[in-house]
Amino acid sequence: MPQPVPRIMLSAAGSGAGKTTMTAALLSALCSRGLQVQGWKCGPDYIDPMFHSHITGRPAYHADPFFLSEQPMAELVSRVSADADCAVFEGAMGFYDGIGQTDQASAYTVSQWLKIPVLLVVNPKGMGCSAAALCHGFQTFRTPNSICGILLNDIRSGMYNYYRELLERETGLPVLGYLPHLPEVQLESRHLGLVTPQEMENLQEKVRQAGGILTKTVDLELLEQIAGEAAVWKAEISEESEKIGSLKSLNYPVRIAVARDEAFCFYYKDNLELLESLGCEVIEFSPLHDKKLPENVKGILLGGGYPELYGKELAENQSMLESIRRALDDKIPCLAECGGFMYLHEEMEDADGNVWKLVGRIHGKTFPTGKLVRFGYVNLQRNLDEDQVSELKERMSIADSWILPDENIRAHEFHYWDSTDSGSDCLAVKPDGKRKWECIHMEENLVAGYPHLYYPSCKEFAERFVEKCRSGYRE
């Protein structure tokens, strides 16, 4: 049985406490000590892992208990972190915030499954003794729990001893240190979360500065000791899991064009690794800057991102638009999610009211709503009545085999834009089953819609995509 890597989780009472800033500073500080550090995000967010990767120089992954059950998550964490000195997990929202009004699929869930010691990040601004009540409440709300220390954020150095004495006396938890108010290292944000690392000016210097300060204000020796004392969990890595991420024996028979640039950058590393394990070679290209698709590609991935910020540039790159159109007309299989789905529309309206002509495969327009639309986790299933199910099972054609009637694939939605035609070939069903809506355009060579899909939750879906690419499907 492999020995789990030393590990620590940073969580908080809720969003806005400073988890991301504290995590970024901690990753930088640990890396500056010569450690190989593996970043993890407990939730579906794309942007925080991009920061983790930027700082550590290693791909970041998601430990998301809606997408993965306990054993597959343990296998993933064991495999990915095997060559690291420490794994740092950043919680999503508040520690106990899960699906609906429950702690299901929360950072707490991850900490229990993987036996991760947790440091609670607290911003005590405007609080005195109430800060202790907050921490004590989180200690006792669920048992067992692995909260074993506190980190303070955004406080004056002169107040640190006050809060440390108070919190250690009232909770029995060690306070490992603090970060002061750092306006000079502020991580800027926009509607989907933080601005991406590629866009942030002087990011490396900002993170290095924050890490240098944390090295002086946080007891890293104690933190590493806590991480190193994390309990062993049972995580036998299956042969199938070992195969994923090990590409030595592959001859890359299937070339997949993956859009990646300033406009398209939201991808789960787990998704790409699964495709690679099935025999794909990932070839990145830029819809913004390149003139056409890469040569000899057999499939296309158009991921999420911020195409709405680059409408003019995308619309003016006519040669790329035409290249995408020809590929789709030639029945090249394509998966398009959220921003990629927007790119396939006839028109896209940006936040300033400008309307841009794009690929045109999806009829209609995508437009801003000014608010989150259909936010959260969903299970995707085919939108079929009983007669359609029977008919499908009888003919089972390649055009209809993306998702079978008895299958579902887990996904999430998070977008401020909507479409005049979001599709109706699938149903997005909330985990509690109380709400559902139509979504997804599903054609013989195309799956396109707002949901972000997690392929390992339905490996058959990924296998069918690769097989369609491999077979060079033509009508």
Handedness of CA 450, 453, 458, 463 (dihedral sign): positive
Among 200, 228, 256, identify where a domain stops: 228
Beta carbons of 374 and 428 less than 8 angstroms apart: yes
218 lies in the same domain as 269: no
Q: Which one, of 202, 196, 8, lies nearest residue 114 by Cα?
A: 8
> Whole-angstrom Cα distance, residue 91 to residue 349?
34
333 lies in the same domain as 296: yes
Residue written as token pair 């070679």:
281
23 lies in the same domain as 123: yes
248 lies in the same domain as 217: no
User: If DSSP codes are grouped into helix, strand and coil, which group holds residue 62?
Assistant: strand
43 lies in the same domain as 101: yes
> Whole-angstrom Cα distance, residue 12 to residue 125?
14
35 lies in the same domain as 141: yes
**In the chain, which stretches have pLDDT less than 50?**
1, 190, 192, 247-249, 398-399, 473-475
- In 33-174, where does DSSP find H-type helix? 47-56, 70-81, 107-114, 130-141, 157-171
> Whole-angstrom Cα distance, residue 220 to residue 239?
36
Beta carbons of 413 and 376 less than 8 angstroms apart: yes
395 lies in the same domain as 334: yes
Q: Which residues are catalytic?
A: 338
Any domain includes 237:
no
Among 228, 259, 274, identify where a domain stops: 228
Dig out the tokens for 317 from the structure: 């790159």
Q: At a CB cut-off of 8 Å and minimum separation 6, what does 435 contact?
A: 429
> Whole-angstrom Cα distance, residue 305 to residue 315?
16
DSSP structural state of residue 143: S
Among 198, 228, 258, identify where a domain stops: 228
Q: Which one, of 111, 66, 108, lies nearest residue 87 by Cα?
A: 111
Any domain includes 299:
yes
pLDDT reported for residue 393: 61
CATH number, residue 306: 3.40.50.880
User: Model's pTM, two decimal places?
Assistant: 0.90
Q: At a CB cut-off of 8 Å and minimum separation 6, what does 459 contact?
A: 274
69 lies in the same domain as 163: yes
Any domain includes 166:
yes
Phi then psi for residue 453, to 5 deg, are -90, 145
User: Residue 257: beta bridge partners?
Assistant: 283, 300
- In 336-448, where does DSSP find H-type helix? 339-343, 386-395
Any domain includes 128:
yes
175 lies in the same domain as 45: yes
Q: Could you give the C-alpha distances from 238 to 1, 141, 280, in angstroms and in order?
A: 11, 35, 21
Count CA atoms within 13 Å of residue 83 on its CB side. 4
Dig out the tokens for 445 from the structure: 């060579």
70 lies in the same domain as 201: yes
Residue 126 lies in domain: 7-228
Q: Could you give the C-alpha distances from 248 to 79, 279, 312, in angstroms and in order?
A: 16, 11, 41
Dig out the tokens for 91 from the structure: 């919680």
Any domain includes 132:
yes
Any domain includes 239:
no
Dig out the tokens for 182 from the structure: 């750092």
144 lies in the same domain as 35: yes
Q: Which one, of 373, 445, 462, lies nearest residue 410 by Cα?
A: 462
Residue written as token pair 């910020």:
309
Any domain includes 1:
no
Q: Which helix (H) or strand (E) holds 204?
A: helix 203-217
Q: At a CB cut-off of 8 Å and minimum separation 6, what does 105 contact?
A: 64, 65, 66, 98, 99, 377, 431
Instruction: Specify whether the backbone of 316 is left (phi greater than 0), alpha (psi in -120 to 50) or beta.
Output: alpha
Q: Which helix (H) or strand (E) holds 460?
A: helix 459-471
Beta carbons of 337 and 449 less than 8 angstroms apart: yes
210 lies in the same domain as 270: no
Strand 426-429 relative to strand 436-439: parallel, antiparallel, unpaired? antiparallel
Any domain includes 238:
no
Strand 61-62 relative to strand 37-42: parallel, antiparallel, unpaired? parallel
> Whole-angstrom Cα distance, residue 457 to residue 69?
9
> Whole-angstrom Cα distance, residue 328 to residue 441?
14
DSSP structural state of residue 164: H
Total count of domains within the chain:
2
